[in-house]
């Protein structure tokens, strides 16, 4: 393959065909002064001005030479993502191979190629799994990752810091909580299906507080961090700026769907105990526990405010969900 020529303002996005990556590439293509290079494991669909490069895997030995040549900024989204039932014999090792070793390898090759900045999308799991209501995580909190995914992301951040110190590469770390938007999968998609089914849910009396971030908002923060001078070598938490209880989230999601939410007011302590008894403690934690983040640093240092409210994001999810069903299923 012919090496691309250096052009001022070229951005490389890894994981470009993923949930966040696809939206980010579309946003970057709307900035006329940027060249956009998209790297992913599978070929992407043709898009105006985007150059697609296939990278079969992200590992310690991956060759990024062609991908980083002529690039000014790398936005690294590609990762081994968090999964509920991991079948790997060594989950920590599997996550480290991609998320830690693969990330540090990319950073070192990027620095050698003259890349100015690398924006790394990490995870709030680096901070931990839960917070006390009213006491959100900040960037100054001591990291306490508990699962293999969070551990691998934290170790990647430490590795990137070393690369930055050794090479002068500017590194920006973003730690988002759950990201939702059109095409969202996993637990959020399951809740949407339950709401649309109309079945009663024992989730009408949960008073936790959880931070979420809409797809449009996380993309906006990534774009800001890619260019803002003050972002260099900083860590930022991300959210919509409004924390919701599980009960409130379901009610507002139902409104966006044009449905009525049938929520039974089962006390949270009873729901948690019941789920724990049947081996669903992790689900109980996500439904009943709190996880809040403080985005004051991004507001103050970058002048960044989430451009879209929670209800905007929920409407986008609802429209996408309804567009993928038959008319009979909508009634």
Cα–Cα distances (Å) from 307 to 213, 240, 294, 295, in that order, read: 11, 9, 16, 13
DSSP codes, 282-306: HHHHHHHS-B-B--HHHHHHH----
Let me know: does 154 contact 128? Beta carbons within 8 Å.
no
Cα separation, 108 vs 72, in Å, equals 14
Cα separation, 205 vs 191, in Å, equals 16
At residue 323, φ and ψ (nearest 5 deg) are -70, -15
Let me know: does 249 contact 269? Beta carbons within 8 Å.
no
Cα separation, 166 vs 207, in Å, equals 46
Residue 323: closest CA among 135, 162, 196: 196
Cα separation, 265 vs 36, in Å, equals 49
At residue 90, φ and ψ (nearest 5 deg) are -125, 85
Residue 171: closest CA among 114, 221, 117: 117
Cα separation, 142 vs 125, in Å, equals 12
Let me know: does 41 contact 54? Beta carbons within 8 Å.
yes
Close Cβ partners of 104 (under 8 Å, ≥ 6 residues apart): 60, 156, 159, 160, 162, 163
Catalytic residue, chosen from 149, 180, 236, 304, is 149
Work out the number of other CB atoms within 10 angstroms of the CB of residue 255: 15
120 is catalytic: no
Give the active site residues: 149
């Amino acid at each position: 393959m012919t090496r691309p020529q250096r052009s001022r303002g070229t951005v490389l996005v890894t994981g470009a065909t993923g949930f966040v990556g696809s939206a980010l590439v579309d946003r970057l293509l709307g900035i006329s002064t940027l060249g956009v290079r998209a790297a992913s494991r599978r070929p992407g669909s043709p898009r105006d001005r985007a150059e697609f490069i296939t990278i079969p895997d992200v590992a310690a030995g991956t060759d990024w030479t062609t991908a980083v040549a002529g690039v000014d900024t790398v936005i690294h989204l590609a990762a081994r993502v968090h999964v509920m039932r991991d079948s790997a014999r060594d989950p920590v090792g599997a996550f480290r191979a991609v998320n830690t070793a693969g990330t540090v390898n990319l950073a070192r090759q990027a620095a050698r190629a003259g890349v100015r900045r690398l924006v790394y999308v990490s995870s709030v799991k680096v901070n931990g799994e839960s917070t006390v209501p009213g006491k959100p995580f900040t960037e100054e909190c001591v990291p306490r990752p508990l699962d293999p995914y969070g551990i691998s992301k934290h170790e990647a951040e430490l590795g990137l810091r070393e690369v930055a110190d050794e090479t002068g590469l500017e590194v920006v770390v973003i730690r988002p909580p759950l990201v939702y938007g059109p095409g969202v999968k996993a637990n959020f998609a399951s809740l949407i299906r339950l709401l649309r089914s109309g079945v009663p849910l024992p989730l009408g009396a949960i008073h936790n507080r959880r931070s979420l971030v809409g797809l449009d908002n996380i993309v906006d923060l990534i774009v800001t961090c890619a260019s803002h001078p003050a972002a260099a070598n900083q860590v930022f938490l991300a959210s919509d700026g409004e924390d919701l209880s599980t009960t409130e989230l379901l009610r507002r999601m139902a409104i966006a769907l044009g449905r009525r939410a049938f929520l039974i007011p089962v006390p949270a302590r009873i729901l948690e105990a019941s789920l724990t008894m049947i081996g669903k403690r992790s689900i109980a934690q996500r439904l009943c526990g709190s996880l809040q983040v403080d985005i004051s640093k991004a507001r103050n240092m970058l002048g960044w405010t989430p451009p879209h409210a929670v209800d905007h994001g929920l409407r986008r999810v609802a429209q996408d969900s309804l567009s993928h069903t038959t008319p009979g299923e909508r009634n």
